[in-house]
Structure 1
């Protein structure tokens, strides 16, 4: 696994597509992300259709379903509405798995102390966010991301906006943080 760039975010209400780094910057390591259940691989997105590395990850982790989404004003119907939905803080009952094929984007996740961590995603980054973690997504200022979405079994698109602390998956996730 290669290192991915991530950092604690500032509280600015400026354009959400900007980096939002603190001054001075407070980087977050891959090891710290892993303690939150966030995992990352760097793959060759130019060969995603026949990449043995991607195939191995899919087989090992049981990712049987995939599709591709292009997030751009000209490609995604109701672009602004979808971006607002993606950026609303939420969780899922299943892991969220995304592989950036083109473009750039950010995933924001909450740490144990409820602080936002911004994860910069670029071409070739594959990330898994555990079920029950509060997170959100936005493209960067280029407004372009092409991503593969992967699922174990049938795709589940349902997001549960915060507060969703009563969900069993959230309680299990919070418990796992206390054990790590």
Structure 2
């Protein structure tokens, strides 16, 4: 279940607001320029489906989104506990960073938290299957899929060179670990 938790950036143990209502999540994030929505596909492809099948299942959504944003490419990213170098990959995503373009992700399977650091607050958004999030260019953030990740997600890029991070050097992510529920067996 999707969830938004907001903290003051100087009080990691104090929750300012929390909600699991997707509409409230979207309404809370919208003034910050963060897009959050649910996509209900008529068919959800299996986790091990070929990339082209996953892209085709969400093509109507992708075409609309890419037309709105001017994005030039979409791909599928998959990672789980067996992914080679998963520890190094996780560390890369867990370091606070920004991008020169919006970071757009749609969760086909699995879950992960996008955590944004904005104007003295931490906005932790647990995204689950069916969630789309778009973090605007320049917003400091990090991503955590937990110690045992199992994610299949669509990525949308304007710059076809893909994911490029500018690290802030702030170690704030260590003070705000994401609460990633264990996946159901």
TM-score between both structures, scaled by the size of structure 2: 0.71
Contact 2:76-2:154 at 8 Å conserved across structures: yes
Distance 2:142 2:98 in 1: 8
Tell me the residue number matched to 2:165: 159
Cross-structure match for 1:84: 91
Match of 1:130 among 136, 145, 151: 136
Match of 2:109 in 1: 102
Q: 1:130-160: CA deviations, max 9, x gaps?
A: 0000000011465211111111141332211
- The separation in 2 between residues aligned to 1:163 and 1:138, in whole angstroms, is 17
8 Å contact kept, 2:101–2:159:
no
* Bigger proportion of residues as strand: 2
1:120 aligns with 2:110: no
Taking a change above 3 Å as real, the CA distance of residues 141 and 163 of structure 1, as seen in their structure-2 partners, is closer
Q: Which residue of 1 aligns with 2:4?
A: 6
What's the Cα RMSD here? 2.5
Number of matched residues? Answer: 150
Query: Is 1:44–2:50 an aligned residue pair?
Result: no
Give 5+ residue unaligned stretches, structure 2.
20-24, 46-53, 171-185
3-state SS of paired residue (2:17): coil
Which runs of 5 or more residues in structure 1 are unaligned? 13-21, 165-180
Query: When the two structures are superposed, what TM-score results if normalisation uses the length of structure 1?
Result: 0.73
